[in-house]
Amino acid sequence: MKIFDVHVHVGDKFAWKEEAFSYLMSLGKRYEKRLYDDAGNQIDSELHNIMVEEEISHAIILPEYAPKIACLHPVERILKVSEKYDEFIPFGALNPHLHNPVKEFERQLALGIKGIKLHPVHCEHYVNDSALYPVYDRCSNLNIPVMLHAGTSIFTGSRMRYADPYTYDDVAADFPDLTIILSHGGRSFWHQQAEFMVRRHKNVYIDVCGLPPKNLPKLFPSMGRFPEKFLFGTDFPGVPGIRANAEAIYRLDISSEAKSLICYENAARLFL
């Protein structure tokens, strides 16, 4: 069983807002003790050890610039990890309230990011904000994937309006060649729209992170018919076990080919 986790958060404990950190750790209890030192620094060698122990072959690591609602995990912090360990693929992140999106994208691109993540709900913007269109255009031309947090958030200050599925569909329709990953597949109230989007748009995928694997066939009834459009992700460290989640996908009533596409092959094709 090969596993590629497309959704791993990297950052020091003190860079999380307390509410967000304690929620993640309520899920990832077993990782908390070993992942941070007494000063709250993430111990990168321990992150790597966890990947080795659980036999995760690759992981996308994510920064986030959302100090008001969740965390401030700069791209430089995650690059420290990917520079040391080849299994980790660094993505960038943008917050249009804190950055000039085009300039910041180019800066991070020069630093070596392989994709970009946007979190409209924690950063309080719409994904179809015109300020982001030049970035999408650039990503589309360079074949750089864009990961969009797609769904609500329970953290204080989050607004549902920024998770409006029709704004995501705008981006997919306006940039048909852009690879778009819908993280959480519309969590809370628009799984059906997310599934429709991956069927309608050739380059749109769902990353199943943060969703209990056993619920997937109910949330996405077409998953078994379109397994090439789903990606395994966990939202680590907010998960009881990376490998345990992949094993739960292997227990679903879908073909063995579908299981290996979802857990590894699709991500390898897109990101390696």
Positions in the binding site for Zn ion (CB under 5 A): 235
| Sign of the dihedral defined by the CA atoms of residues 268, 61, 59, 182, in that order | negative
Smallest gap from Cβ 165 to Zn ion, in A, equals 18
* Residue 169 or 235 having the CB closest to Zn ion: 235
Beta strand 71-73 pairing with 64-66: antiparallel
Give CA–CA dist 222/240, Å, rounded: 26
* Residue 144 or 150 having the CB closest to Zn ion: 150
* Residue 175 or 236 having the CB closest to Zn ion: 236
Smallest gap from Cβ 235 to Zn ion, in A, equals 4
Smallest gap from Cβ 100 to Zn ion, in A, equals 24
Neighbouring C-beta atoms of residue 126, cutoff 10 Å: 19
* Residue 124 or 235 having the CB closest to Zn ion: 235
CB 205 within 8 A of CB 266: yes
Smallest gap from Cβ 254 to Zn ion, in A, equals 24
Beta strand 146-151 pairing with 116-118: parallel
Give CA–CA dist 118/95, Å, rounded: 7
Give CA–CA dist 241/52, Å, rounded: 13
* Residue 184 or 259 having the CB closest to Zn ion: 184
Cα 254 to Cα 124, 144, 182, 185, 221, distances in angstroms: 37, 30, 21, 19, 11
- If you count them, how many residues does the chain have? 272
Of all residues in the shown chain, the one whose CB is closest to Zn ion is: 235
Smallest gap from Cβ 183 to Zn ion, in A, equals 6
* Residue 20 or 258 having the CB closest to Zn ion: 20
Smallest gap from Cβ 137 to Zn ion, in A, equals 25
CB 178 within 8 A of CB 203: yes
